[in-house]
Amino acid sequence: MDVFDAIKKRRSIRQYLKKEVEEEKLLKILEAARQAPSASNRQEWRFVIVKEPATRARLAIAAKGQKFVEEAPVLIAVCAQTDNHTMTCGQLCYPIDCAIAIDHMTLAARALDLGTCWIGAFHEDQVKKILNIPSEIRVVELLTLGYPKELPASTKDRLPLDAIVSRERWQNL
């Protein structure tokens, strides 16, 4: 599957088959994240891979009771070992860099017939405690990974380009 197909076919998956994700596929997905660009090549991202069912169950509670967090065969805690470096534009590097790495993982997963779901609804302090993550490390997102039980419809309701794109300068869209 080429990258354009992966982009069009990527969906948030919240129902997974009870099928293990092959280590070879997991490593390809992690390699895709490792290859992501980062501000000043800081590479602040760190990943905690969780397969243990009991740990995933505790993480589902920390993720506001989202049951699919427990049901996905793999959960990736996307963390940042950061000094809170701010880019010239005023944005912190680590949330953007982690988001790029996550997007690389989601597209790689889709290309490998796997599904993912970004999770921002979680209590960071609880996740840190469950996974023994040091206080100075940020937990940026959680990402479920597994074989989808079903693929949602392939059409996304998206605004047309002329509603979101200005050329040369800002225009009220």
pLDDT digit string (tens) for 60-96? 999 999 999 999 999 999 999 999 999 999 999 999 9
Please report the pLDDT score of residue 76 as a whole number: 98
Rounded average pLDDT over 34-44: 97
Please report the pLDDT score of residue 142 as a whole number: 98
Give me the CATH number covering residue 12.
Answer: 3.40.109.10
Q: Which residue has the tokens 């997991």?
A: 26
Please report the pLDDT score of residue 152 as a whole number: 79
Grade residue 155 by pLDDT with cuts at 50, 70 and 90. Answer: low
Domain assignment present for residue 172? The answer is: no
Domain assignment present for residue 169? The answer is: no
**Residue 110 CB contacts under 8 Å (≥ 6 apart), including other chains:** 1, 6, 9, 10, 116
**Residue 57 CB contacts under 8 Å (≥ 6 apart), including other chains:** 70
Domain assignment present for residue 108? The answer is: yes
Domain assignment present for residue 83? The answer is: yes
Domain assignment present for residue 111? The answer is: yes
Q: Which domain holds residue 73?
A: 3-163
Tally the domains of the chain: 1
Domain assignment present for residue 157? The answer is: yes
Rounded average pLDDT over 144-169: 88
Domain assignment present for residue 55? The answer is: yes
Single pTM value for the model: 0.94
Q: What rounded mean pLDDT belongs to the chain?
A: 95
Rounded average pLDDT over 49-68: 98
Domain assignment present for residue 119? The answer is: yes
First-to-final CA distance of the chain: 34
